[in-house]
Chains A and B, each alone.
Chain A
């Protein structure tokens, strides 16, 4: 067995708390009404293609991509468009949202809903890319970058490795873990599809060794597949960060402010890979995803297959309702997830999990003076000085912030996590990043 790989610089070890790792994926009952925002991805919002009163089928295109960096949106239920309105999403901002009242579950023709695995790849690279775009596939690890853009190589760039991200380094979340256990063969077909688009002959799956069953499963499936390999990684946050994962697996360092493609690698999440499989082999658009619902005070932390647009409240009901002492509701994991102000917001393509935190763990502790222990520096995976960036942000030293590479920050939160004085390092760094970002863009104009 090879030695466990990991990235070298920085990182923290928050308690893993994978409470729902043993809970098989269950299908959440259809909601009465879905709220589908037309912007669930990075880039330009899609353009709504339906109007109030239109009757739609499950899987029908209801908003089409606008520009290259954008993604199609499909209806996740069949029924009638109630209205198109501004509804707050998980960030708290109001977004244009298509509200559909569900009636039955009538799917579009041509979508293969049978459980049989279709391993025969007939599509050409061009067709695969086109179908990924048409079916609205975006990065399902949480970043929601449109996948077809990632698969369109800029001129002059070469790729030799496809990396599949099965790390799931966020504590509590188990959606990717369950998907790997239950849909392994499908994911492998998805990998082959992605390798075909990119024209690469090396595919690597990276999984942290706290998921030995998933690693073992891929080892078995991949017997006789010399081009694809699975690699056990040490458990360390933020190993699921693209740059950290590339460093861990193939020891290449993506240049600062550069992209993985600059070192010949492309990274896709396992969830995305499964969605690609369904899009090409089953002709199915991205209308549902696996979401972990978890927390220490929940009766049964679970993993659900959820239609996009389902209100978070339906998920919470499914696990027995909000516990009495709920203090915080988080969309995503505890390190990078967003705290929700209520449970009416919809599940979107980037929703990896819903985490319920009890009241006694939901408040920040008192802030003490910086004692210059340098722990923030030693855990920063990007080689930054968080204490300094925070101080400079407080003093609005924008040029100095830029010189100290504030824009390199990946907002993983390791610095705030480790600080013994409970200083809100990442809060200030985010503020500094936004301000410096504005300064840089005005300079360009």
Chain B
């Protein structure tokens, strides 16, 4: 035998998964929400999404090529996902230069400063979003109404988000029953016929995406379900104690970015815990902080901050919450 053959340690077969395929799966899971956002916000949704995704790709490309001088990584799809998620967290009439700035901060500061994929402690899209929220509070809280293609981009008709109406009403000392009259019904919340960031409104589209991620085993149920359960429980208790001053749990769950955050942002592999028990701690933390910000804080909306705060605890959670070792407890005498 004079042919060269490969000698390598086992295993000799490998699964079909790859980073690229996982990212493609996430993108597929995001498409129903993308379609909904285009349906409700028309050109606004298309422009915001395109600008965000393309700027993320260009930022990563430039940093890899000229600063890190490493292998080009933009083909792995992670920058596209970051771009999509950032866009989904922005209002549909945001000036283009602000979107570009957000993308540069997301990828440049949120991801590449730490060494690129796999090394960033915070969710890059949320880093960009929160940076914009603090830097451009006016533009970031001017929400176009869901009028589809019937409205322009820069001159869109704007209005408040359901959470904004709630916060404003409570601040004025209004009773819940009065505020509820101004709020959209649950059907509108469920189908996304409300104002808000372009990708956060249509509960049904986001839940469809979750179903896909679960079936494809891209995520496990632990993080989204623990966040939703915590929020329902916490707001439920507040609502039962004082229904005139607190919105009901279903309203909280369907409004703002809770579904988007719980399903797509908090489940980011790199910035979430690795064990089921750790995921529960992470999810409960996000749920509690979100409700605290919404109910007691100055912002009407709190998921982004909650996720970022819990991101910071992930290394600690990974360090102390270990998987159950086989044969740890002796169950036979």
Contact = CB atoms under 8 A, between A and B. Distances in A.
B1 A313 contact: yes
B152 interface: no
A326 B1 CA distance: 11
A362 B5 contact: yes
A373 interface: yes
Interface stretch (B38-46, B111-119, B181-189): B111-119
Given A326-B5, A341-B5, A420-B22, A258 B12 contact: no
Interface size class of A (residues with CB under 8 A): 35 or more
A365 B19 CA distance: 12
Contact of B332 (A9, A256, A264, A338): A264
A425 to B, nearest CB: 10
Interface in A218-276: 243, 252-258, 262-264
A116 B216 CA distance: 53
Query: Dominant SS at the B interface?
Result: loop
A408 B13 contact: no
A363 to B, nearest CB: 6
B101 interface: no
Contact of B3 (A326, A361, A375): A326
A343 interface: yes
Interface stretch (A104-112, A198-206, A328-336): A328-336
Given A256-B325, A264-B332, A408-B325, A339 B7 contact: yes
Contact of B269 (A254, A373, A405): A373
B18 A385 contact: no
Given A372-B269, A385-B274, A380 B118 contact: no
B173 interface: no
Query: Dominant SS at the A interface?
Result: loop
B12 A383 contact: no
A335 B7 contact: no
A68 to B, nearest CB: 26
Interface in A354-411: 355, 357, 361-365, 368-375, 377-378, 380-385, 387, 404-405, 408, 411
B8 interface: yes
A328 B4 CA distance: 9
B325 A252 contact: no
B162 to A, nearest CB: 34
A44 interface: no
A370 B327 contact: no
B23 to A, nearest CB: 9
Contacts of B18: 365, 368, 420-422
Contacts of A427: 9
Contact of B326 (A9, A328, A368, A419): A9
Contacts of B327: 243, 253-258, 408
Contacts of A14: 13, 15
A223 to B, nearest CB: 31
A411 B5 CA distance: 23
A374 B331 CA distance: 27
B7 A372 contact: no
Most chain A beta-carbon contacts within 10 A, residue among B5, B10, B331: B10
Nearest to A255: B327
A416 B11 contact: yes
Contacts, number: 165
A160 to B, nearest CB: 10
A420 B21 contact: yes
A362 B6 contact: yes
B328 interface: yes
Contact of B12 (A339, A377, A384): A339
Contact of B1 (A92, A343, A418): A343
Nearest to B12: A334
A363 B10 contact: no
A371 to B, nearest CB: 5
A322 interface: yes
Given A253-B327, A258-B327, A383-B328, A371 B270 contact: yes
Contact of B323 (A322, A375, A384, A422): A384
Interface in B143-170: none
Given A385-B274, A385-B323, A420-B19, A252 B331 contact: yes
Given A254-B327, A326-B3, A369-B116, A334 B22 contact: no
A378 B322 CA distance: 12
A171 to B, nearest CB: 7
A385 B19 CA distance: 19
A12 interface: yes
Nearest to A374: B274
B112 to A, nearest CB: 12
A50 interface: no
A384 B15 CA distance: 19
Contact of A421 (B19, B116, B322): B19
A334 B11 contact: yes
A373 B22 contact: yes
A417 B323 contact: no
Interface in B114-136: 116-119
For the complex of A and B, list the 6 residue pairs with the smallest distance between their C-beta atoms, beginning with the closest. Answer: A413-B11, A369-B118, A256-B327, A374-B274, A420-B17, A334-B13
15 contacts: A252-B331, A253-B332, A335-B13, A336-B10, A365-B14, A368-B18, A371-B19, A371-B117, A385-B323, A404-B322, A413-B10, A416-B11, A417-B14, A420-B22, A426-B10
Interface of B: 1, 3, 5-15, 17-19, 21-22, 76, 78, 116-119, 220, 269-270, 272, 274-275, 322-332
Given A341-B5, A384-B323, A404-B322, 19 more contacts: A9-B326, A313-B1, A328-B7, A339-B9, A343-B1, A357-B12, A362-B5, A363-B6, A365-B18, A369-B119, A370-B118, A371-B270, A372-B274, A374-B269, A381-B326, A383-B324, A405-B325, A416-B14, A422-B18
